[in-house]
Amino acid sequence: MGVYKEGKNWKVQVYYKDWQGNRKRKQKRGFRTKGEAKEWERIFSYLFENSELPADCDL
């Protein structure tokens, strides 16, 4: 997991395992602030770990 600066914007990159045990990567870009990116990362991780979020959803 990580939050990275990309030009003037921020991106989040999260790795997780799908239902078959394969490692997958989810990215979201275009956050204006580092705080927004960290908040999205926190929410995604919480929802995914609690099985409230399918991995292919567009959060």
Ordered per-residue pLDDT tens for the chain, 59 residues: 799 999 999 999 999 888 888 999 999 999 999 999 999 999 888 888 887 655 566 55
Q: What confidence score (pLDDT) does residue 9 get?
A: 96
Q: What confidence score (pLDDT) does residue 17 get?
A: 85
Q: How far is CA 47 from CA 4, 20, 26, 32, 54, in A?
A: 21, 19, 14, 23, 9
Q: What confidence score (pLDDT) does residue 31 get?
A: 96
End-to-end CA distance of the chain: 16
Q: What is the pTM of this model?
A: 0.76
Nearest CA to 58 among 26, 36, 34, 31? 26
Structure tokens at 55: 């991995």
Alpha-carbon distance of 32 to 54, in angstroms, equals 26
